[in-house]
């Protein structure tokens, strides 16, 4: 089944620091036309980081769009043309001060397929070594190590709502057949 939509025209209506907004005219498979509002966003990486005692690093960071502090794993946007693995390594170190001897790709996911082209690459890291935290000037977060079983309970209790965190743990559990 060919259900591809073809872009006829595109108009940028906003250019930002991390995202651009477009309104595109598209031709539908049935011959009709429609409009698509689209956010172009840079790719990002997130890290499920374990210490030697099976604790993970969770951050508490205020997220303005939701007007609440969100519990999430370390993450950040890729610099222009930056390899997502290097982003994961950099963000873990900047946000927590920790470096990992081992880091591997779990997978990737599309946070919201209806209106953005954002892709988040998910990694698992282990064999952590403590260093110094280097937050960006506009970042304010706290982090803590949480036993993995307690983290799973937090998910079950509805305390973890962040999509990248939930996706990373799903990949991890499936890969390790703990689901």
| Cα–Cα distance, 118 to 109 (Å, whole number) | 9
Using DSSP bridges, classify how beta strands 44-49 and 120-129 pair: parallel, antiparallel or unpaired: parallel
pLDDT of residue 28: 96
Distance set, CA 123 to CA 48, 59, 86, 175 (Å): 6, 16, 11, 12
Q: How many CB atoms lie within 10 A of CB 111?
A: 13
Q: State pLDDT tens for residues 32-46.
A: 999 999 999 999 999
* 123: nearest Cα among 76, 74, 88: 88
pLDDT tens-digit map of 48-87: 999 999 999 999 999 999 999 999 999 999 998 999 999 9
* Model confidence pLDDT, tens digit, residues 92-115: 999 999 999 999 999 999 999 999
Nearest to 59 by CA among 41, 71, 75: 71
Q: Which helix (H) or strand (E) holds 107?
A: strand 99-109
Instruction: Supply 137's token pair.
Output: 């000037």
Q: What would the pLDDT profile of 129-169 be if each residue is shown by its tens digit?
A: 999 888 878 888 999 999 999 999 999 999 999 999 999 99
Q: Percent of the chain at pLDDT above 90?
A: 87
- Spatial separation of the C-alpha atoms in residues 1 and 149, rounded to whole Å: 44
Residue 52 has, within 13 A of its CA and on its CB side, a CA count of: 6
């Amino acid at each position: 089944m060919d259900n591809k939509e073809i872009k006829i025209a595109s108009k940028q209506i906003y250019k930002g620091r991390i995202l651009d907004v477009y309104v595109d005219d598209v031709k539908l498979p049935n011959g009709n036309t429609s409009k698509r509002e689209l956010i172009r966003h840079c790719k990002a990486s997130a890290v499920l980081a374990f210490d030697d005692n099976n604790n993970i690093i969770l951050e508490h960071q205020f997220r303005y769009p939701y007007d609440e502090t969100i519990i999430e794993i370390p993450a950040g946007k890729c610099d222009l043309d930056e390899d997502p693995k290097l982003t994961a390594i950099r963000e873990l170190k900047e946000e927590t001060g920790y470096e990992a001897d081992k880091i591997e790709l779990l997978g990737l996911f599309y946070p919201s397929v209806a209106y953005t082209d954002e892709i988040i690459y998910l990694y698992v890291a282990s064999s952590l070594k403590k260093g110094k935290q280097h937050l960006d000037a506009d970042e304010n977060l706290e982090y803590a190590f949480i036993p993995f079983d307690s983290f799973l309970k937090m998910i079950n209790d509805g305390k973890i709502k962040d999509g990248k965190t939930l996706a990373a743990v799903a990949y991890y559990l499936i890969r390790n057949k703990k689901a």
